[in-house]
């Protein structure tokens, strides 16, 4: 055990974690040159396309030092985007140390801070890694000072390196061995293994990534999932090198995978403890804090025959991603679907894209919303995440919305526009500190304003330099108006949204205009109306059109006519019929972009 080092790599997005992981694998010979495809660890198609890491990955490599001692280095690559911070804390719980990667051309950013504090709370040894020193504008000295000033940790053991060229990586490995403690635990105690992650493999069933905290796990052992008391036989165990490698046993201090023929996706929950059936441990390990989704939206299959596939796919995805929440929802406009909870908009986008791509489900999503705390006149308090379920105004005593505390780091030259943006978003400043090259700002802002496109707007007013990290703070009373949309006098529940009262009439008008733009003309007039608390505040009409797609090809040949008719039919497939009006899929999400 004294030659094992378990560590995570944490950083702000794009500072080079994945590149560093690849370089470590290469130096330690985990893969041949030929096997090193562009970026090894970001294995999901989506990750490659977007160039970001979504799932944490674990890899064990061997390193021989100058004295010929062999060390097992076990590292977990983690995602850097604010929506995936949950993955970071899970990965950290399997480690004794963390490499804090900071881009030497950029410096410390909000997410670097947030992740570093999570690691400090878990008492991990931190090694600052000043990356990208090959770039001409790199300033590792300045960044090293920022780490001390802004994060408040010593950077005495910081390593300067370039993950791209490999400079300094050898020193980094020596430091990992020197500074990160070896795992503790008792090899002869009953087995306690923490499930860090689980995912579903179509051939093997559930695969779990585990960290053995005490004892030894053997292939063919009979194990017990401690939360349910259910027993399973271990089929296979092993490690990732990063190739999947089978082993006969995994012992105290090691991180590896286990397959035990579990077919039910809820049977191996993340954060649970595995022990052996013969000699069970007395206590479960303390698992993970249950993470709460921040935004909710309805997802509905375009065609109802995909409902079962959709349900099954959500089950499989949620095993892999415990921050994904879902429950059945029925909409008069969109039929049967699910109300889903996500950590943020990017998370929602990724889940939707995975459902569409990996499971070929065509989906319509409704506008996302946060959770509101509502105090009714009868004293009851309810929490609502669906605008269409909002009680009537005369039943409500107070509505409270979630407020988040935002930590923003920004270079001083962009301070003005950033403050202006925070004020526009109904922000309240609670702190402002000047550091050498950056200002750290603290604002309390309604979550509703933050989760939509605040992050993108912040990036745009600061030329990409400002960084953001946020946390739920409390509920605060607010005046909210419910906007309903009626199409030919029929209320479309999936288009109902909630808005801050001062912006409500403007938003209602904008939605009506947008619908007019997006809904194609039909063979009859279509009336679009918006109401606030049941009184009409905006209306518009889409004039009728007698459209004959064949009119252009008088006397033409029959196959061309067929083609045009087919095209018209295909166009209709991407629409949803409300009453007798076809509404395009994009209309449901378009209201998002009206702020």
Stretch near ligand GTP under the rule CB under 6 A, chosen from 161-169, 429-437, 503-511, 584-592:
161-169
* Location of structure tokens 């089950």: 315
Rounded distance between C-alpha atoms, residue 78 and residue 490, angstroms: 47
Q: Is 16 left (phi over 0), alpha (psi -120 to 50) or beta?
A: left
What letter would DSSP give residue 148? I
What letter would DSSP give residue 3? T
Query: C-beta of 78: minimal distance to ligand GTP in Å?
Result: 8
Whether 168 has a binding-site annotation, put simply, is: no
Residue 376 is a binding residue for ligand GTP (CB under 6 A)? no
Question: Between residues 11 and 31, which has the closer beta carbon with respect to ligand GTP?
Answer: 11
Whether 15 has a binding-site annotation, put simply, is: yes
Edge-to-edge strand order for the sheet containing 295-301? 325-331, 335-342, 295-301, 363-365
Q: What is the DSSP string of 35-82?
A: G--S-SS--SHHHHHHT---S-EEEEEEEE-TT--EEEEEEEE---SG
Residue 80 is a binding residue for ligand GTP (CB under 6 A)? yes
Question: Between residues 50 and 473, which has the closer beta carbon with respect to ligand GTP?
Answer: 50
Whether 8 has a binding-site annotation, put simply, is: no
Rounded distance between C-alpha atoms, residue 195 and residue 274, angstroms: 7
Residue 426 is a binding residue for ligand GTP (CB under 6 A)? no
Q: Per-residue string for binding with ligand GTP, 124-143, x by CB under 6 A?
A: -------xx-xx--------
| 249-251 vs 205-214, strand pairing mode | unpaired
Rounded distance between C-alpha atoms, residue 182 and residue 271, angstroms: 22
Question: Between residues 131 and 208, which has the closer beta carbon with respect to ligand GTP?
Answer: 131
Whether 17 has a binding-site annotation, put simply, is: yes
In Å, how far are 334, 344, 351, 574 from 363, measured between CA atoms? 10, 18, 11, 10
Report which of 591, 586, 584, 572 is spatially closest to residue 542, judged by C-alpha positions. 584
**Interactions with ligand GTP, residue window 324-363 (CB under 6 A):** none
Q: Please enumerate, as own/partner, the contacts of 543-548 that have beta carbons within 8 Å and a separation of 24 or more.
A: 545/521, 547/521, 547/523
List % helix, strand, coil for the chain (3-state, nearest 5).
Answer: 30, 35, 35
Binding test (CB under 6 A) with ligand GTP, winner from 162, 276, 331, 365: 162
Question: Between residues 52 and 384, which has the closer beta carbon with respect to ligand GTP?
Answer: 52
* Location of structure tokens 């089929």: 235
Query: C-beta of 31: minimal distance to ligand GTP in Å?
Result: 16
Whether 444 has a binding-site annotation, put simply, is: no
Rounded distance between C-alpha atoms, residue 48 and residue 389, angstroms: 39
Question: Between residues 102 and 314, which has the closer beta carbon with respect to ligand GTP?
Answer: 102
Whether 493 has a binding-site annotation, put simply, is: no
Whether 593 has a binding-site annotation, put simply, is: no
Query: C-beta of 1: minimal distance to ligand GTP in Å?
Result: 29
Question: Between residues 164 and 491, which has the closer beta carbon with respect to ligand GTP?
Answer: 164
Question: Between residues 164 and 284, which has the closer beta carbon with respect to ligand GTP?
Answer: 164
Question: Between residues 48 and 420, which has the closer beta carbon with respect to ligand GTP?
Answer: 48
**Interactions with ligand GTP, residue window 2-61 (CB under 6 A):** 11, 13-19, 51-53
Query: C-beta of 185: minimal distance to ligand GTP in Å?
Result: 30
Query: C-beta of 11: minimal distance to ligand GTP in Å?
Result: 5
Q: Which residue numbers belong to the known binding site? A: 14-19, 131-134
* Interacting residue ranges for ligand GTP, rule: CB under 6 A: 11, 13-19, 51-53, 79-80, 131-132, 134-135, 162-164
Q: Which residue numbers belong to the known binding site for GTP? A: 14-19, 131-134
């Amino acid at each position: 055990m004294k030659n094992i080092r378990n560590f995570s790599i944490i950083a702000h997005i794009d500072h080079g974690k994945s590149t560093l992981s690849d370089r470590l694998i290469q130096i330690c010979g985990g893969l041949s040159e030929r096997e090193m495809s562009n970026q090894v660890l970001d294995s999901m198609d989506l990750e490659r396309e977007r160039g970001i890491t979504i799932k944490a990955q674990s890899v064990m490599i061997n390193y021989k030092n100058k004295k010929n001692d062999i060390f097992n280095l076990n590292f977990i690559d983690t995602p850097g985007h604010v929506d995936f911070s949950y993955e970071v804390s899970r990965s950290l719980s399997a480690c004794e140390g963390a490499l804090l990667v900071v881009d030497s051309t950029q410096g410390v950013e909000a997410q670097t801070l947030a992740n570093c504090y999570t690691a400090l709370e878990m008492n991990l040894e931190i090694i600052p890694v000043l990356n990208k020193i090959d770039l001409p504008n790199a300033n590792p000295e300045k960044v090293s000072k920022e780490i001390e000033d802004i994060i408040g940790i010593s950077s005495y053991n910081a390593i300067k390196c370039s993950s791209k060229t490999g400079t300094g990586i050898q020193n980094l490995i020596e430091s990992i061995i020197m500074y990160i403690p070896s795992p503790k635990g008792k090899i002869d105690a009953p087995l306690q293994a923490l499930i860090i992650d689980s995912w579903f493999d179509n051939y093997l069933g559930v695969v779990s990534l585990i960290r053995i905290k005490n004892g030894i796990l053997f292939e063919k052992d009979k194990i017990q999932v401690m939360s349910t008391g259910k027993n399973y036989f271990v089929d296979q165990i092993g490690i990732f090198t990063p190739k999947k490698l089978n082993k006969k046993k995994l012992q105290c201090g090691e991180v590896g995978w286990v397959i035990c023929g579990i077919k039910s996706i809820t049977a191996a929950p993340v954060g649970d403890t595995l022990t052996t059936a013969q000699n069970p441990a007395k206590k479960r390990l303390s698992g993970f804090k249950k993470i709460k989704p921040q935004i909710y939206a309805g997802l509905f299959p375009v065609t109802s025959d995909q409902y079962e596939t959709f349900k099954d796919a959500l089950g499989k995805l949620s095993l892999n991603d415990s921050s994904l929440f879902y429950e059945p929802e029925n909409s008069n406009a969109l039929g049967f679907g699910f109300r889903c909870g996500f950590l943020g908009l990017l998370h929602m986008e990724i889940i939707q894209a995975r459902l569409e791509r990996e499971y070929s489900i065509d989906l319509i999503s409704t506008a996302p919303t946060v959770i509101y705390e509502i105090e009714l006149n009868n004293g009851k308090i309810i929490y609502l995440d669906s605008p269409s379920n909002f009680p009537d105004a005369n039943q409500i005593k107070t509505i409270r919305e979630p407020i988040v505390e935002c930590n923003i780091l920004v270079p001083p030259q962009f301070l003005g526009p950033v403050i202006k943006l925070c004020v526009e978003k109904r922000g309240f400043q609670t702190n402002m500190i000047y550091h050498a090259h950056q200002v750290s700002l603290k604002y309390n802002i309604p979550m509703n304003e933050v989760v939509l496109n605040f992050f993108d707007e912040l990036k745009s007013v600061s030329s990409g330099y400002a960084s953001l990290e946020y946390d739920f703070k409390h509920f605060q009373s607010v005046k909210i108006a419910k906007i309903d949309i009626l199409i030919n006098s029929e209320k479309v529940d999936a288009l109902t949204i909630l808005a801050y009262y001062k912006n409500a009439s403007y938003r209602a008008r904008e939605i009506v205009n947008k619908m007019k733009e997006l809904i194609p003309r039909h063979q009859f007039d279509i009336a679009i109306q918006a109401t606030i608390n049941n009184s009409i505040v905006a209306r518009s009409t889409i004039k009728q059109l007698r459209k004959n797609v064949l009119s252009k090809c008088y006397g033409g040949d029959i196959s061309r006519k067929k083609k045009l008719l087919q095209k018209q039919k295909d166009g209709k497939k991407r629409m949803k019929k409300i009453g007798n009006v076809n509404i395009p899929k994009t209309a449901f999400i378009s209201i998002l972009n009206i702020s």
